[in-house]
């Protein structure tokens, strides 16, 4: 169901207004930016199944990325002659999110979206908004060798031990994610007798680990950690300490509108340099450390 909300519904929008002070409209607005301003509505595609990045609570979008997207609505409002910009929230899934973006059903994709070169062939991305990597979830009482492998113990350095530990195991992932591609192309060719099991959503993946249907469930580690924080039986699972890939998240927009991307990149850079990003980060992940501060300082673009 589509929900229509005012952009100011996002809790950090007043804070964003301070961070975005002085922003001006692009010299020559692009087609998507023009379309949004003309109708006075920003269609935001929200993943509802990726806490703490994007989810729905009490009928409203919440999450780290959802709030950043509220700030992007504020950036468009600040650079246009509009007095009010309505934000229409359109729930999307891992499977249909990119089709919705390409078809023009949504103007901005918010969730947990890895920016990679393959995806850039058909869409555009802002500067990075978060950095994570694919991790693995197993049952807390999984075999010792399996636990050692996902936690980077000595066995993880041995190709033979890895093949032995994963031999005959069932590997799960959500369809439509980078984990699906990575498991199929990088992991499976090295294994014997392993079975792939795609699932429709992360909750189903976790449930399948709990009931023993899946031995290892692969997904972005930040998503796995976020989902476990909401479970009463979180102690029954173990998440890998290591990450196996680099997954830079970014906001996705339709390809071909450099002006809209400039508005959003400038807004994000202002938010990072002002320190507003750290207050948002702490809301969902705890106090940012040195690594996070270096990351946001590095990806913020200078004027």
pLDDT at residue 240 in the model: 92
pLDDT at residue 27 in the model: 54
Residue with tokens 């020559």: 28
Residue with tokens 């729905």: 56
Question: Does this model's pTM top 0.95?
Answer: no
| Local structure of 285: helix, strand or coil | helix
pLDDT at residue 183 in the model: 93
Q: What are phi and psi of 151, to 5 degrees?
A: -100, 10
Average pLDDT estimate for 230-239: 91
Q: How many Å apart are CA 266 and CA 72, to the nearest integer? A: 10
In the chain, the percentage of residues whose pLDDT exceeds 70 is 89
pLDDT digits (tens, 9 = 90+) for 260-281: 999 999 999 999 999 999 999 9
Residue with tokens 């609570």: 57
């Amino acid at each position: 169901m589509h929900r229509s909300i005012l952009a100011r519904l996002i809790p950090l929008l007043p804070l964003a207004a301070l961070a975005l002070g002085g922003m001006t409209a692009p010299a020559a607005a692009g087609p998507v930016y023009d379309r949004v301003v003309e109708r006075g509505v920003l269609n935001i595609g929200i993943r509802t199944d990726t806490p703490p990045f994007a989810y729905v609570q009490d009928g409203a979008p919440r999450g780290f990325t959802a709030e950043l997207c509220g700030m992007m609505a504020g950036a468009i409002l600040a650079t246009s002659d509009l007095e009010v910009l309505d934000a229409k929230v359109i729930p999307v899934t891992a499977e249909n999110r990119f089709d919705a973006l390409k078809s023009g059903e949504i103007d901005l994709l918010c969730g947990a979206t890895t920016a990679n070169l393959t995806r850039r062939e058909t869409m555009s991305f802002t500067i990075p908004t978060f950095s994570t990597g694919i991790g693995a979830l197993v049952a807390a009482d999984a075999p010792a060798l399996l636990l050692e492998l996902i936690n980077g113990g000595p066995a993880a350095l041995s190709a033979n031990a890895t093949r032995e530990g994963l031999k005959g195991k069932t590997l799960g992932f959500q369809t439509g994610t980078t984990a699906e591609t990575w498991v199929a192309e990088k992991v499976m060719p090295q294994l014997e007798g392993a079975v792939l099991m795609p699932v429709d959503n992360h909750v189903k993946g976790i449930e399948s680990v709990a009931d023993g249907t899946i031995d290892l469930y692969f997904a972005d580690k930040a998503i796995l950690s976020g989902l476990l924080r909401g479970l009463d039986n979180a102690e029954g699972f173990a998440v890998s300490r290591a990450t196996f890939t680099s997954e830079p998240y970014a906001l996705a927009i339709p390809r071909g509108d450099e002006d809209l991307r400039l508005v959003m990149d400038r807004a994000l850079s202002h938010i990072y340099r002002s320190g507003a990003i750290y207050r948002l980060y702490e809301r969902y992940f705890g106090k940012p450390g040195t690594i996070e501060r270096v990351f946001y300082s590095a990806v913020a673009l200078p004027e």
